Chains A and B, each alone.
Chain A
């Protein structure tokens, strides 16, 4: 392999594209290892633009974990914008990595991080630009293995023919295992080539290899059976769960982008997993159980990270950050420690309670106090019982009003539209709520300039959640309900002008739904859309619903399936779901019961505070909840930052 840097050839093109800095790499803390020293080489792809992909922690963690291995190297790559794509195609330059600008095809593994389904066409495009055949069956021994991970990899079926394998769950340990298995296989003379390697990875249970499973379909279009087609391949493939996050304090030295990105801050993951049990949330269901980092480790990561990056803001990231068992002390400790250093701390919390305000007050005490966010998700109390996001109307209004009383001028409220059992009335309640919030807010704050923005996302049923059986609301219905809500808010003379509304059209949600709950037959549609020019589907300026619906109509013209079949159709318990053989640990019966409870408007508790609800994860995966407070007591070192080392 004569891997060389393509930078010389790229340089003249950089002057011709928008924001060329995103393609050059060379950021502080970027790693470029000697090519020939490595036995196993990974290209890590986030299939969206650099500005969106670089804040992702998953890629940053794997990049560091892999690069710390003496004989492994990892480089990063992102999707290129259409202007760059056109030039690359014109000049015949392959898709490249940022770190050493080598062709992606020169690597042993292309590891793709899938946080959202709308990046699938970008994945195909990157493969094609790299000169890698888009279908796994057409690849040779000199092509990299294409492996996907991240949340969407929990149903990789729509991508089945394009990928060589999928890794479910936390990637730290599996990527190391995969690297070791590749090195071993190569040392023993690469027996049976690519197929031999994939069998080895599948047999070890670390990678799901779609090609090793046959799917049969009934005449109505339903899946009849999913079964392995090779000896030594497991019937089900399980997710990986990383325990003891204190032992894995990554990223230790986050890459500091030179280009502007969506998150201009450093992030520290304070825990992984979430057991709040919101029924719409795939992330919460597939990342169980909760595993906290201790306050001491978090403080340490914040301190080292800031020193190594120079960021002036730290976000304490997780799925529900205010739920960390030591969060109060942590927030206060860090706020004390960084007092006077012009370092801001943020906690992306959306909890609807007074504690959220307390924390936000604490964290913003040295700086900005702009907007505070709450996520009731459902407009009516009934709706909130269905989705298991329980908060009463009175509590909600009391909480939000308390925020205005404590000096916040702008409150953002997050909701969903299209939830199971939802009626027009449930959605219109959002307007009533916002009105009530402003009314009492004006009363307690004595000001008329307070604002409330309601942000509404379309609900998309996801695999491995209790709502995986639900029918998705058709796009027209979503649009109609949002229109009703808009009219209701606009029509309010007294409060309407203090209420902002942000929402998206229903159509992209239908495509997301198709890709989320689709099976292998969706692959041809993805390919067709990509061939028709589909790229950057997560960006409204590039997304075209027509492209998707006509591709689906065309590909499936002789089949009993269509867009609606995959999206708006409700499933029954005995239907074989495309991801039935992929194990997130959740018991199918538990999920179904939770779905029934949702329909009955019954709630389920959080296993951190109420008894275990037998979701199945801990038994199945041999894991347990890891929440503090840790035995180690963390005392903030007040001196840090207050006195910067003197240079004089």
Chain B
């Protein structure tokens, strides 16, 4: 009866590529979905042989892991591409970076053997650039936070207010300072290692905790950057390279 065509067949994946990418500058304001569309278009622009799923609305085989929130910069985001033909992984970072808007950059590409990157992303190293507050103020607040039990903050989301447990997720922290940037005098630089709990603690939650539980003055403005994401290693703990054991 119906002349409907059979749906597209799924294309077999012959090679999986794992990419590390950075978002910086203006593109830190892209949401996760914005990046997804940009990457899919870049893959087409670079004419990479990505594999597609089957059915009536075929999708490219791309899987994302734990992306940074809108507004945060990152040097350590991860994504996996399923290819229908083998490609030379070394050429991918430049080819894709050239096809993406400025501010997104593919910094590494490895051929996946086993496991998944997502399983290796246990914690993040975040840097909080807090403009308008100085090193001492943040150091004091941080010490205060460490001795405060049950540090929980409210995060307003589209679906309502979410309670985020901040205290126990912060594993390590250091404070340094940066000399005047862009006409703003003091700028404290806080680095924290945060374990990926559910819900994951975001840098803005850490800042909220410092303000609400440790009386830190609200900074004039702030920029958050994820410096690393990966397995927890060593003592004191650091965030390792999720690719290191996979190559």
The residue on A at minimum CB distance from B219 is: A12
Specify which of B41, B52, B57 is in contact with A28 (CB 8 Å cutoff): B41
Q: Is the pair B5, A647 in contact by a Cβ cutoff of 8 Å? A: no
Specify which of A306, A361, A368 is in contact with B56 (CB 8 Å cutoff): A368
Q: Is the pair B2, A258 in contact by a Cβ cutoff of 8 Å? A: no
Q: Is the pair B101, A258 in contact by a Cβ cutoff of 8 Å? A: yes
Q: Is the pair A260, B29 in contact by a Cβ cutoff of 8 Å? A: no
Q: Is the pair A258, B27 in contact by a Cβ cutoff of 8 Å? A: yes
Contacts of A260 in B (CB 8 A): 33-34, 37
* A326 and B49 alpha carbons, distance in the complex (Å): 32
The residue on A at minimum CB distance from B52 is: A342
Contacts of B1 in A (CB 8 A): 405, 445-446
Nearest 9 interchain pairs by C-beta: A310-B41, A12-B221, A310-B45, A310-B44, A24-B26, A407-B4, A20-B29, A647-B87, A644-B47
Q: Does B85 contact A (CB under 8 A)?
A: yes
Q: Is the pair B87, A648 in contact by a Cβ cutoff of 8 Å? A: yes
The residue on B at minimum CB distance from A406 is: B3
Q: Is the pair B4, A258 in contact by a Cβ cutoff of 8 Å? A: no
Contacts of A445 in B (CB 8 A): 1-2
- CB contact list, A620-648 vs B, under 8 A: 644-648
Contacts from B to A (Cβ < 8 Å)? 1-5, 8, 25-27, 29-31, 33-34, 37-38, 40-45, 47-49, 52, 56-58, 60, 70-71, 85-88, 91-92, 95, 99-103, 131, 182, 220-222
Contacts of A367 in B (CB 8 A): 8, 56-58
Specify which of B30, B49, B56 is in contact with A21 (CB 8 Å cutoff): B30
Given A342-B52, A367-B58, A407-B3 in contact, is the A646-B37 Cβ separation under 8 Å?
Answer: no
* A11 and B25 alpha carbons, distance in the complex (Å): 10
Q: Is the pair A647, B91 in contact by a Cβ cutoff of 8 Å? A: yes
Contacts of B29 in A (CB 8 A): 14, 20-21, 23-24
Interface string of A219-257 (1 = CB under 8 A from B): 000000000000000000000000000000000000010
* A647 and B182 alpha carbons, distance in the complex (Å): 43
Q: Is the pair B8, A369 in contact by a Cβ cutoff of 8 Å? A: no
Given A15-B71, A28-B101 in contact, is the A407-B2 Cβ separation under 8 Å?
Answer: yes
* A23 and B221 alpha carbons, distance in the complex (Å): 18
Q: A367-B58, A646-B49 are in contact. List 11 more A-B contacts (CB 8 A).
A: A15-B222, A26-B27, A28-B38, A28-B99, A309-B45, A310-B45, A310-B99, A312-B44, A367-B57, A644-B48, A647-B48
Q: Is the pair B4, A369 in contact by a Cβ cutoff of 8 Å? A: yes
Q: Does A476 contact B (CB under 8 A)?
A: no
Q: Is the pair B45, A644 in contact by a Cβ cutoff of 8 Å? A: no
CB of B167, distance to nearest CB on chain A (Å): 24
The residue on B at minimum CB distance from A264 is: B37
The residue on A at minimum CB distance from B43 is: A310
- Interface class of chain A by DSSP: loop
Specify which of A15, A405, A648 is in contact with B86 (CB 8 Å cutoff): A648
Q: Is the pair B99, A361 in contact by a Cβ cutoff of 8 Å? A: no
* A32 and B223 alpha carbons, distance in the complex (Å): 26
Specify which of B25, B40, B47, B100 is in contact with A312 (CB 8 Å cutoff): B40
Given A21-B30, A21-B31, A21-B34 in contact, is the A256-B92 Cβ separation under 8 Å?
Answer: no
Given A309-B41, A644-B48 in contact, is the A12-B87 Cβ separation under 8 Å?
Answer: no
Q: Does A8 contact B (CB under 8 A)?
A: yes
Q: Is the pair A648, B2 in contact by a Cβ cutoff of 8 Å? A: no
Q: Does A83 contact B (CB under 8 A)?
A: no
A-B CB contact pairs (8 Å), 20 listed:
A8-B182, A11-B221, A20-B29, A20-B70, A256-B38, A256-B41, A258-B34, A258-B37, A259-B34, A260-B33, A310-B40, A310-B45, A311-B41, A366-B5, A367-B8, A367-B57, A368-B56, A369-B4, A446-B1, A648-B87
- CB contact list, A8-34 vs B, under 8 A: 8, 11-12, 14-15, 19-21, 23-28
Q: Is the pair A645, B47 in contact by a Cβ cutoff of 8 Å? A: yes
Q: Is the pair B221, A15 in contact by a Cβ cutoff of 8 Å? A: yes
Contacts of B86 in A (CB 8 A): 648
* A369 and B56 alpha carbons, distance in the complex (Å): 8
Q: Does A365 contact B (CB under 8 A)?
A: yes
Contacts of A480 in B (CB 8 A): none
Q: Is the pair A366, B87 in contact by a Cβ cutoff of 8 Å? A: no
Q: Does A308 contact B (CB under 8 A)?
A: yes
Q: Is the pair B85, A646 in contact by a Cβ cutoff of 8 Å? A: yes
Contacts of B221 in A (CB 8 A): 11-12, 15
Q: Is the pair B85, A648 in contact by a Cβ cutoff of 8 Å? A: yes
Contacts of B30 in A (CB 8 A): 21, 258
* A376 and B100 alpha carbons, distance in the complex (Å): 43
